[in-house]
Amino acid sequence: MALTVDNLTEWINSFAQKVNDQKDYLSELDTPIGDGDHGNNMARGVKAVQESLENKKPAELTDAFKQIAMALISKVGGASGPLYGTAFLEMAKKSKDTTDLGELFAAANAGIKKRGGAQVGDKTMVDVWEPLSDQLAQGSLAQEDIDKAVNGTRGLVAKKGRASYLGDRSVGHLDPGAMSSGYLFTALIETEGIL
């Protein structure tokens, strides 16, 4: 079982599918604690990713990660653009040395944390990326881990991003970026032949 350009593409297409299906839901999550655009941002981003991968089939994993990153960086528009973009850019760099998922995701997570300055507990996508990257490194990621991480953001006080303006009042709402990140991990474990 290993990551290839083909199953990476399959994974990303599955993620795109989920984002498109849940576009309105993601924007709804972003409404009480943000500006209500996360679904639209991500849908625009994954569309650009799919177009890029179709227009120019990447020769290597590194190219694939880079194309994904650049499309997200250019097209998302919101905070999630540079964050997801940095994640895939870090995976591109790391993929020159290894295809180990644990290492790739650890690099991605470190990139997100550096880019946005968020730590675990700040009610951001980091609350999904960090624990699930750890699980991947340990070779045991299941849907219930994903649900737990995503749902865990509900009780947190936002410390970064737009939701942080609401302080304590952000409690009781799921973080939209955590939810979309959850879809990325679900798509990963659902794609045959990667894990």
Partner 1 sequence: MTLGITIVSHVPEIAEGLPKLLKQVAADVPLTFAGGTDDGDIGTSMEKISQAFTDNSADEILAFYDLGSAKMNLEMAQEMSDKTIHLYDTALIESAYTAASLLQADVPLNDIEEQLKPLKIK
For partner 1, the binding residues (CB under 8 A) are 32, 34-37, 41, 73-75, 77-79, 81-83, 85-86, 115-116, 160-162, 165-167, 169
Interface with Mg ion (CB under 5 A): 30, 34-35, 37-38, 78
Which residues, 6+ apart, have CB-to-CB distance to 91 below 8 Å?
65, 69, 104, 105, 107, 108
Q: Nearer Cβ to ligand ADP, position 152 or 177? A: 177
Q: Nearer Cβ to Mg ion, position 77 or 172? A: 77
With CB cut-offs between 5 and 8 Å by kind, which of Mg ion, ligand ADP, partner 1, none does residue 178 bind? Answer: ligand ADP
What single letter denotes the amino acid at residue 54? E
Token pair for 154 = 């509900």
Spatial distance between the Cα atoms of 133 and 112, rounded to a whole number of angstroms: 12
Q: Is the Cβ–Cβ distance between 128 and 152 less than 8 Å?
A: no
Among 9, 11, 12, 30, binds ligand ADP (CB under 6 A): 30
CB 37 to partner 1: min, Å: 7
Spatial distance between the Cα atoms of 57 and 195, rounded to a whole number of angstroms: 23
Which residues, 6+ apart, have CB-to-CB distance to 184 below 8 Å?
15
What single letter denotes the amino acid at residue 137? A
Among 111, 116, 152, 182, binds ligand ADP (CB under 6 A): 116
Q: What are phi and psi of 84, to 5 degrees?
A: -60, -40
With CB cut-offs between 5 and 8 Å by kind, which of Mg ion, ligand ADP, partner 1, none does residue 118 bind? Answer: ligand ADP
Token pair for 111 = 């990139």
Q: Nearer Cβ to Mg ion, position 28 or 63? A: 28
Q: Does 83 bind ligand ADP (CB under 6 A)?
A: yes
What residues line the site for ligand ADP (CB under 6 A)? 30, 34-35, 37-38, 41, 78-80, 83, 112, 116-118, 124-126, 160-162, 175-178
